[in-house]
Structure 1
């Protein structure tokens, strides 16, 4: 005869192993907030309802674990998950729906009367969200595994990232009120984040009193300079970094107003540093830079268009980065491509500390021209534990720098070059050629450039296209979303170009063209362009798989033999998938045609 108590004994025994880390309550709770949330959560439809177990973590009060048990494995989950009193999954999700109003909830459904027959399902529902996501394997795991898996989950990352963006906006307004220039804001944050890596500074900065503000500012900068000096940074680079961070010592708000700097350090530690420690290998400083400069227009004027994090991640996937890769970015910016590559490389290592050390020290190479952005790149690599000694401050076209990079034999080139804003400036494809000049034979180079670079059929850009395929193989061109750089306030339509270095493009070689216009991101007034519906991972998988396998699909991708004289974009060669056209598409096209004619006739 089925006995649910046996199931409960198995669950209780499992979590009793972690009593030092959790508090376990059974079919009740002493927490008034939990009681209030479960006041109408009865599985029968009225009154209080409680799961078999409510588990709270002593080191993280944001997460609740609820466990619902059933003796019979046939009662594990109903087809519609709406038989709350009869099935384990249904009941667990019911309680999660109530508790998620104020908590992140890990709902665990367990059925079976022996460990051998035990059936376990896990679901994550975050605070304020109706979305329920399956997570973890079909076994009961350790509390540490549950906590770490929850913290690094895509759902938690998305939630924390949105919270980070909200904090960043408030921080930006705060720094504005302190009259700290936009160009200095990211440098201030990066300096603070580096100082917080120093254990002594992190434990003592709170002890500075209101009259010690100037001393705190000096200690902040001096701590960072000492740390960088101990990291084998070149002396001339160190002198440059001293200059970049030096304003902190003399800024009126930071060095004279009581507690302003101390409170900034505390808030940055709590909101930004904690995010970086939890969600590693994300170019947080790059996103801060975008936020701080988006209203100043300075980034657009310089042609700086920082790559969104999901695209730097896509580059690492397309390049098939692994632990043996040597990655080079000749337009490093804040280091987003190198950080995404680092993440992929370290995942491939699977915990080998010596290899991880070598990757960070030797296999990530960058060049950045602008002194202030170089400081951000160094800070970024420092925060992610080394790699900063291979960031060069200089001109990537300098022959001495080219010689140094060549000697390292990079196997992968990744870049987003400065976008040309004036006639006399360097063409984007010149940066692509420069990157490949430094790569080993057969290396892959992936760049994101304005679509006009791919369409040119005459002039200087056309000559650069000719030079590219005379010396290298054009593997693919991927048309990117029109508003990809919306968060940078730069209206440029872009494409990704993928080359194999130093192997001339064969006459009959087919190039893969992808119409990668929909990345699932949508615009939000406060947050900018975000993955609001969690579509990106699935889309990224399709984009990567189709490129690797050169798969053609009407309306999405095509393989085509091209020359420099041709347009390098999917739109020029794709078959139309008429089955996907709707009446709305027809109306929209007609309206655009009419509008075009009106504007054309008016201009005539």
Structure 2
């Protein structure tokens, strides 16, 4: 969680006293006498966190009450105070229960909560300091380090692997366990495998029934193997998954303003070998959020994703409205979010994803979008839409966010086929944003004919290029984001925004793609891109972001940044450094040849 676990008495900025070390601090020793809590954690020089542990779940109250007793003894001091206590109960095999409370200055003791739900894992240093500094038991955020999320995702994947649960089933196992955690009570961990797994399934189904999505229960149902030893191994894996999720406070994160759950969901699917094996390529969260921003998703928009996968774009749209227009979010999520996913088990993941944002009654369905149409409909006095099997003339969609399936073999399901379908559902002057392989925008043959047809009926607003490792580790393809205005033919020499992003804020590191933590192009250019799409003028940078007239008479009609952007201006200092590096390398090679 970010704590320095060295002994504070020995310097090196340590923050954690073990049971054998806690009496090294004179003020702690004066209060505790000969008592030795499991751990004492230094939050500030004069503020401490007492942790007591027991070996079985049944003793969680004992651990908590002992920690509280130690804290009260410490607080007799006029110099130091124990402001946090935690009782821990369990072991590596059964998992750990964690119960944490805050001691207010007026003597009250309150459970530590986020989003009005008790946290179930440990606190980070920033969280502990926030509670102490503000004399509150309510956390203001649950932002968790991506490295920790990745670690938990890999641990869960390893547990499911050891239980011989196939890769293509792990995502649905995760969905069932997550749904089972919605309840305020714990499942029967001590029951037989049959009893325990039935309990998990019943809890998950109850949540789906509550959200009118019972038909998806069969796609996430946990199914025990036949052999008794295998059953026990399966149960043990699910129990460990349950407790690993508690470690990062997943339950408290449900329906929270900071999307820790969504972050974890993406990390698990991407690096837990789930997404690739069920045939989906996840659009990274920072891209879905960027897309919702530049399209300016509002509560008045009807948003559609015809190939929604696990619902990433729809979640980004929902989160933006919840953040910017909280008073209108209920109407938006009930009437104006629509998504179709052809694979039922993947659609189930999208449903789960949305349920954890406070709603499962949204219009995400399992089906073939190419055989479905959206027609305008008024629901409870609000403009909405309904799915129909025939073409309607009452268009409804104002914004489309999509990442159509890449490189399908069927001739009738190319990337542009999905784009055409989405455009057919849209109101004139609506905005469509799609992620496609760059080849769609430059290849000859069918792609060329499609681009001609596209520009004859619609306006190309922007083409934004990204690194070819954007979808790593699931796919290696150079993608572009394309933004289109529906129903307004592109004027001859009408301008389009071309952008080439080489730094989206992530780097490949040890077979993973993680945030690098430095300022990056995608973030810096977001405001300029937004401005152009919505009619403004932006500062241009040669080779990076420029508006250029599209030549509709070009027989090749290659609509890509590489074709339209000017060469970047040479930086003389950068050129000097590069030449110096090359010269050093050449000299080094000459020396090596001489030595050999």
Q: TM-score, normalised by structure 2?
A: 0.68
- Residue of structure 1 equivalent to 2:477: 492
Q: How does 1:133-152 map to 2 (within 5 A)?
A: 142-144=134-136, 148-149=139-140, 151-152=141-142
Q: Deviations for 1:539-590, whole angstroms, at most 9, x for unmatched residues?
A: 4242333442452112211111114642222222222211275256569999
Provide the rounded CA distance (Å) in 1 between the counterparts of 2:330 and 2:44. 48
- Residue of structure 2 equivalent to 1:163: 148
- Residue of structure 1 equivalent to 2:61: none
- Pick closer, same or farther for the CA change 1:208–1:338 going to 2, 3 Å: same
- Residue of structure 2 equivalent to 1:582: 575
- Pick closer, same or farther for the CA change 1:387–1:61 going to 2, 3 Å: closer
Provide the rounded CA distance (Å) in 2 between the counterparts of 1:496 and 1:319. 12
- Residue of structure 2 equivalent to 1:273: 250
1:384 to 353, 357, 361: 357
Does the CA-based 8 Å contact 2:307-2:405 persist in structure 1?
Answer: yes
Provide the rounded CA distance (Å) in 2 between the counterparts of 1:441 and 1:480. 28
Provide the rounded CA distance (Å) in 2 between the counterparts of 1:288 and 1:479. 26
The CA RMSD over aligned residues, in Å, is 3.9
Corresponding residue SS for 2:370: coil
- Pick closer, same or farther for the CA change 1:477–1:539 going to 2, 3 Å: closer
- Pick closer, same or farther for the CA change 1:431–1:62 going to 2, 3 Å: farther
- Residue of structure 2 equivalent to 1:483: 469
TM superposition shift of 1:532: 2.6
- Residue of structure 1 equivalent to 2:548: 560
Does the CA-based 8 Å contact 2:159-2:237 persist in structure 1?
Answer: no
- Pick closer, same or farther for the CA change 1:474–1:55 going to 2, 3 Å: farther
1:298 to 277, 296, 301: 277
Provide the rounded CA distance (Å) in 1 between the counterparts of 2:41 and 2:182. 37
Provide the rounded CA distance (Å) in 2 between the counterparts of 1:63 and 1:485. 42
Residues paired across the two proteins, number: 461
- Residue of structure 2 equivalent to 1:545: 528
Corresponding residue SS for 1:293: coil
Q: How does 1:301-340 map to 2 (within 5 A)?
A: 302=279, 304-340=280-316
Q: TM-score, normalised by structure 1?
A: 0.67
- Residue of structure 1 equivalent to 2:262: 282
1:464 paired with 2:439, answer: no
- Residue of structure 1 equivalent to 2:346: 373
Corresponding residue SS for 1:337: helix
Does the CA-based 8 Å contact 2:313-2:401 persist in structure 1?
Answer: yes
Corresponding residue SS for 2:404: coil
TM superposition shift of 1:264: 2.9
1:244 to 219, 226, 231: 219
1:508 to 493, 498, 511: 493
Does the CA-based 8 Å contact 2:436-2:481 persist in structure 1?
Answer: yes
Q: How does 1:102-141 map to 2 (within 5 A)?
A: 104-105=125-126
- Residue of structure 2 equivalent to 1:113: none
- Pick closer, same or farther for the CA change 1:518–1:589 going to 2, 3 Å: farther
- Residue of structure 2 equivalent to 1:11: none
TM superposition shift of 1:230: 3.1
- Pick closer, same or farther for the CA change 1:568–1:586 going to 2, 3 Å: farther
Q: How does 1:586-597 map to 2 (within 5 A)?
A: none
Does the CA-based 8 Å contact 2:496-2:549 persist in structure 1?
Answer: yes
- Residue of structure 2 equivalent to 1:436: 423
TM superposition shift of 1:466: 1.3
Corresponding residue SS for 1:411: strand
Provide the rounded CA distance (Å) in 2 between the counterparts of 1:345 and 1:141. 32
Provide the rounded CA distance (Å) in 1 between the counterparts of 2:308 and 2:230. 29
- Residue of structure 2 equivalent to 1:114: none
- Residue of structure 1 equivalent to 2:50: none
1:209 paired with 2:190, answer: yes
- Residue of structure 1 equivalent to 2:35: none
- Pick closer, same or farther for the CA change 1:569–1:585 going to 2, 3 Å: farther
- Pick closer, same or farther for the CA change 1:270–1:347 going to 2, 3 Å: same
Corresponding residue SS for 2:462: strand
Corresponding residue SS for 1:523: strand
- Residue of structure 1 equivalent to 2:406: 419
Q: How does 1:35-54 map to 2 (within 5 A)?
A: none
Alignment gaps of 5+ in structure 1: 1-26, 40-51, 66-101, 109-123, 125-139, 591-604
**Structure with the larger strand share:** 2
TM superposition shift of 1:54: 7.8
Moved more, 551-560 or 381-390: 381-390
Does the CA-based 8 Å contact 1:255-1:261 persist in structure 2?
Answer: no
Q: Deviations for 1:226-257, whole angstroms, at most 9, x for unmatched residues?
A: 33233223xxxx44x24322343557678544
2:503 to 504, 518, 523: 518
1:196 paired with 2:175, answer: no
- Pick closer, same or farther for the CA change 1:247–1:555 going to 2, 3 Å: same
Q: Deviations for 1:253-287, whole angstroms, at most 9, x for unmatched residues?
A: 78544644333323333336247435337354333
Provide the rounded CA distance (Å) in 2 between the counterparts of 1:587 and 1:409. 59
1:226 paired with 2:206, answer: yes
Corresponding residue SS for 1:169: helix
1:356 paired with 2:334, answer: no
- Pick closer, same or farther for the CA change 1:105–1:395 going to 2, 3 Å: closer
Moved more, 268-277 or 366-375: 268-277
Does the CA-based 8 Å contact 2:176-2:222 persist in structure 1?
Answer: no
Corresponding residue SS for 1:229: helix
Provide the rounded CA distance (Å) in 1 between the counterparts of 2:490 and 2:409. 31
